[in-house]
Every structure is written in structure tokens, then in C-alpha cells.
Amino acid sequence: MPNLKEAAALLARATDVTLLGHVRPDADALGSALALGRALRLRGAEVRVSVGEPEEMPETLRSLDVGGLYVPASELPESEGLLVALDTPTPGRLGKLAPRVDAVRAAGRDVLVIDHHASNVFYGTHHVVDDTAEATAVLVFALLEELGTEIDEPIARCLYAGLVTDTSGFRRARPSTHQMAAKLLEAGVDPDKVVREIVDDHPFAWLPMLSDVLVGARLEPDEARGFGLAHAVVTLDAARSVRAEEVEAVVDVVRSVREAGVAVVLKEAAPIGPRRRWTVSLRSAGGVDVSAAAGELGGGGHRQAAGCTAEGTADEVLGKIREALSRAPLL
């Protein structure tokens, strides 16, 4: 693995560390940051974890922050020491915290980038970037082993959260994935509790919301290079009674459709201009590279799970996605 020793030495020397995940963080981004943050705190470093948005940590991930390391972006002090960016392929994905990267580098201090996105642009001074890793949590685990850190239950829980979600519940897993999971369970992780809290737990209001949204779902069997496209649209109105977590979970229902190799969910974002804005989730069952399609629209991600933002009516955005998918490489 590239630069693991050098990165571990950098972390071992650090006395003040700011760890950042990407905007609207998932369990891998926040879990990885909180796991590494806790390990460094236990070594005596001053540590804080943050993301560009939202201000508050997503409700489903709060149980991961046992040590209270999370600081809202608006309250994050100017960094005095090492900056670590996790699960974040470009500075832009840090949102309003992106300028910190240049500021820290301009001050002659180090920026360590830990990531598993193929689209990573290597914007740090040090990099642990491996696009064959199933999750950023895998790379953090390797770093902690290199550091000789004892993996306690809160650290293990954070890493397990990233591992189980980024592999879609171990659907994309190698023997080494399960070997890592075994070590995390030995450290005391309750796998049922973690998955229930982070993946399965939804308020009842999710059911009528799903009903609203799925009645408009469509199957287009000839699209996505013949693998089939299933799509659904979540308007602000449909989402008004639920959290972002419930909106994000819609794509997991849509991607279960047998006749569609690609699932797409359009999620309406709060308006900032006259045109409607959407964030788009794309999932592939393994036939088509959806990160290429998302990339054409200015987004990115992984070959089987990607996202982008777009403006226009839902039909206009779906049209652009159909076109991008018709050009997407086969896997």
C-alpha cells in the first residue's frame, strides 16, 4: 500500500489534527474520520472532526462520536497543525471547508489525504489513496495497524460502519474484507446494532413518503446500454416529513428492481435560483460504470455507486442521465 509508513509516521508526530470528511457525509467518511480522530486523541493529540455541510452531524451517525470530537464547520478553529481529508476525492467535495487545504499548505504544514475514490486528484502533501480498497475505513484500519494502535470498541464501531455501508452489506467483499470485519467484531462491535442504527432505522413517515415517490417510478428496459433503467423522483414536497436519511435510502429500494441494471433517484434540493436543482444518486448492478455517467454531469463516485447535481426539470435531468448512461463504459 502506498506511503503507509510515511503517513503513519506523520500521524504519530502530530499533536494537533483536524480531520475532514466530504459534505453530506456517509458512514465511511465520518466513521473513518472519527475512528482515526479517536486513535490520535488517545495518543494525546488535540483533535477535531468536521464537514463542510450540514452543520449538525446526521442523526443516524451521532452514535459513532463517542468522544465528542465533532465540531460544526462554523465553529471549526483555524488549523494549527495537520489537516487530514478522508473519503474526499477533490477539495471541492469539502464544500465550504475546501479553502483550508490551500491555507494549510501555504503555511507550510501537511495535508494527508486518505481515500479510495479512483477520481482522487492527489491534492495533499501526503496520500494514502488506493482505489482498490472497499472503503476509506479499510485504509484507516491499515494505518492504525501500522501505528500499533489498540482498536477499542468505539474505534472498531466507526470502522465497521464505514465497511458495512461502503460494501453494501458485504456484497462487494474479498476474504480480507471479512478478516478486517472479524477483528472489529473481536474488538466488541455489535453488528446488528450498528446496521440497525445506520441503515435500517427509519421513522414511520418513511412509508407514506415511499408510497408517494414509488408510484411515480418508471422502468425503461432498453436504457443504460440495454441493462435497463429504473428511476424515481423525490420532490421537496414528498420529502417534507422525513430526514435526509430517508431520502437517501430511496435508491436502495429502486436498485432492487430485477429488470434494471441501473437505478437513478432524483432528489430535489432547496431552490437557490429560478431553476429546480437536484442531487442525483446512481447505482449499478455491475453491468455499467455509473461513475463515468455521473462524471459527465460534473459528479463522480464509484463504478457501482455515484452521484451528481443537475439543474432543470426532472424530465430534462433524466434526459441528460439517459444520454450519459448510453455512453457509459461496460464493467
**Ramachandran angles phi, psi of 18, nearest 5°:** -110, 125
Check binding of 130 to Mn ion (CB under 5 A): no
**Least distance to Mn ion, CB of residue 116, Å:** 6
What's the CA gap between 43 and 26, in Å, rounded? 26
Residue of the chain from 7, 28, 213, 223 that contacts Mn ion (CB under 5 A):
28
What's the CA gap between 112 and 25, in Å, rounded? 18
**Least distance to Mn ion, CB of residue 162, Å:** 7
Check binding of 268 to Mn ion (CB under 5 A): no
Instruction: Please count the residues of this chain forming the interface with Mn ion, following the rule CB under 5 A.
Output: 4
Choose among 279, 265, 281, 206: nearest CA to 238: 206
Binding mask 209-248 for Mn ion (x = CB under 5 A): ----------------------------------------
Contacts of 200 (CB under 8 A, 6+ apart): none
User: Number of C-alpha atoms within 13 angstroms, CB side, residue 93?
Assistant: 26
Check binding of 289 to Mn ion (CB under 5 A): no
Contacts of 317 (CB under 8 A, 6+ apart): 266, 278, 280, 310, 311
Residue of the chain from 110, 130, 166, 248 that contacts Mn ion (CB under 5 A):
166
Contacting range for Mn ion; rule: CB under 5 A; set: 9-17, 82-90, 100-108, 200-208: 82-90
**Phi-psi region at 136: left, alpha or beta (left = phi > 0; alpha = psi -120 to 50):** alpha
- State the cell numbers at 26: 456517509
Check binding of 65 to Mn ion (CB under 5 A): no
**Least distance to Mn ion, CB of residue 304, Å:** 12
Contacting range for Mn ion; rule: CB under 5 A; set: 84-92, 186-194, 238-246, 268-276: 84-92
Residue of the chain from 30, 38, 87, 305 that contacts Mn ion (CB under 5 A):
87
**Least distance to Mn ion, CB of residue 264, Å:** 20
By CB atoms closer than 10 A (0-12, 13-18, 19+), residue 211 is: exposed
- Nearest residue to the partner Mn ion, using Cβ: 28
Contacting range for Mn ion; rule: CB under 5 A; set: 23-31, 64-72, 220-228, 316-324: 23-31
By CB atoms closer than 10 A (0-12, 13-18, 19+), residue 176 is: exposed
**Residue ranges binding Mn ion (CB under 5 A):** 28, 87, 136, 166
